[in-house]
Structures are given as structure tokens and as C-alpha cells.
Amino acid sequence: MHPAPSVIIFTALSGLGFGMMFFLGFGLPMVTGWGAFWYYLTAYALAVGGLLASTLHLGNPKNAIHAFSQWRTSWLSREGVAAVITLLVTAIHAIGLIFLAERFQIVGWISGALALATVFTTSKIYNQLKTVPRWNMPLTPILFLTYALAGGALLTGQITTAAVLLLVLTGLQVAVWQMGDKAFGAAGHNIATATGLGNLGKVRLLEGPHSSPNYLLTEMVYVVGRKHAMKLRAIASVTLGLVPAAILLVLPFNPALAAFAVLSHFIGLFAARWLFFAEAEHVVGLYYDKR
């Protein structure tokens, strides 16, 4: 799949923002006034920034308002609805903390749960697609939720929780990569099942349907750049969790080091999310004898 910057930024940043909102909703950390203001500003900037980035992916954004209508069937619609409800409920909790120095505890809990539910809906947009076996694994939603929780814990300064979650995330991500490598084969699709010509012998594409690339090839048969996949996996596995966890657990707390831990996590997050798209193979590639 084409690793479009808009969807990478959307999933990465909104995951972090809603991850922060989860912890803030449960009073971790318990802050009021300006302290709460800065935390919530960061969380909203990430979540809203990510959601706005996703609109850059649209070919016809003037119709985007209709995207809230199909929540009964569409995970993308549910994501939009869940995001807006989460942002509104979180705002009530945030206003209490920032301006009234008062914590509406129940509202906070609800906002935290909604934040995680929103990340779940984001993951389902990709996870639901049978056409992309690497995404169509039960671990995909768990991976997205763990990203959000680990990143959220890191950005809300939950030092021990963050360190543990970052290590869990690293292990989970490595496992998902390895399972994902086998997913396409395990789904059982090949050029013979795609064309139904398998009984005639070994099938190959003799001549493509068009000589130039088309939307299908640029969007769903992205093969460029996968050659660096292994290097990127190595970089992501180190920077995503190992470096930040080491800084949090081993070194004494210091704002500059904490910033470095966050930076390292961002590098790992973006590298891994790029791979999430770039390495995902769509079954339509079989009609082009490409994956």
C-alpha cells in the first residue's frame, strides 16, 4: 500500500493524542490550571492535527461531512464519530481541570475510555480489510492500542508505566512484523486463485492491461522502497521503545533527556508506521503479477 504521508501522520499523531487523553482522563497525572492546559493543548494538537492530516488524503473533501453518517456499517465513519465525541467529552473534563481546578471524575473516566475506543476504531479501518492480509490479523488493533498507550504514557510523564509499555510495544511490534511476513501466504491467495486459471498450469502475466501505472498500482501495489524494510525495522525497534525505556529507567530524570526519549519514540513510531503501509501487500497486485 502507498505510504501516503497524510495517513501516516493521521494514524501516528491521533494515536498519540488519544493515548494522552486516556491517561489524562484517569487523572494521570493529576494536574490543574496551567499544568493541565499544557497537557491538554499537546493532546489536542496531536489528535486534531492527525485528524486534519487525514483529510489531506481525500480526493473530494467537500463531501467529508457525510463521513459521520454511516456509523452502523463503516469503521471509518465510526472513527470519525468516536473522535468527535471523544474530543467533546474530553473538553468538558479539561475545562473543569484548567479553569475550575475541579476534576469531574466520571466524565474523565468516560473520556479516557472513549479515547481508547477511538484508537480501536482507527485500527479497525485497516484491520477489517481482507484484501490486505498483513493488516487483517487479530493483533492489528492490539498493536494500535499499545502504540497509543505507550506513547500516551510517555507524553503524560508516567515514567514507569511508559517504560514497561514501551518495552511491551517493541516486543509486540517485532512479533507482528514476523507474523505479518507470513500473512499473505497464509491467506492462500495467489495468481492462480485470483484468475481461476490454476488448473491450466503455472500462471503468469503475459501482458499488462495498461503500459503506464494507474491508480491501482500507485495506491495498492507499492513496491518501491521495501528494499530498506529490514534496516527500517531495526531502526524502529531500537528507537521506538528500547532507547526511551532505557532513558526512563536507567538515567536520572532530566527534561532534556526526557525530550530525547520522546524524539526517539517519534522516530521509531514514524518509521514503523511507514512500514505498516509500505510493507502491506494488497491482493489486487496478483492480477499484475506483482506484490
Partner 1 sequence: MTALPAKTAKKLGLAIDLDTCVGCHACVINCKEWNTSNYGVPLSDVNAYGAAPVGTFLNRVHTFEAKSEGCNAQTVHFPKSCLHCEDAPCVTVCPTGASYKRSEDGIVLVNEDKCMGCGLCAWACPYGARELDQLAGVMKKCTLCIDRIYNENIPEIDRVPACVRTCPAGARHFGDFADPDSNVSKLSAERGGIALMEAQGTRPVNRYLPPRPKTDITGEGKIAVSAPALAPGIPEPGGFLGWLDKALEKL
Binding flag, residue 58, partner 1 (CB under 8 A): yes
Single out the residue of 34, 106, 138, 206 in contact with partner 1 (rule: CB under 8 A).
206
Single out the residue of 8, 163, 187, 247 in contact with partner 1 (rule: CB under 8 A).
187
Cβ distance to partner 1 smaller for residue 32 or 131? 131
Residue 250 to residues 236, 243, 263, 268: CA-CA distances in angstroms? 20, 10, 17, 20
- CA 83 – CA 116 distance, rounded (Å): 10
Write the interaction track for partner 1 spanning residues 79-108; mark x where CB under 8 A is met and - where it is not.
-x----------------------------
- CA 67 – CA 79 distance, rounded (Å): 9
| CA atoms in the 13 A half-sphere facing the CB of 254 | 7
Cβ distance to partner 1 smaller for residue 52 or 76? 76
User: CB neighbours (10 Å) of residue 250?
Assistant: 8
* Pair 25, 112: CB distance under 8 Å: yes
Using CB under 8 A as the binding rule, the residues of this chain from 6 to 25 that contact partner 1 are: none
Residue 89 to residues 85, 86, 106: CA-CA distances in angstroms? 6, 5, 11
Cβ distance to partner 1 smaller for residue 78 or 265? 78
Cis peptide before 29 (omega within 30 of 0): yes
Q: How far is the CB of 275 from partner 1 (least distance, A)?
A: 17
Using CB under 8 A as the binding rule, the residues of this chain from 97 to 156 that contact partner 1 are: 125, 128-132
Task: Name the residues that contact partner 1, by CB under 8 A.
Answer: 1, 57-64, 66-70, 72-77, 80, 125, 128-132, 187-189, 191, 193-197, 199-210, 212-216, 219-220, 282-284, 287-288
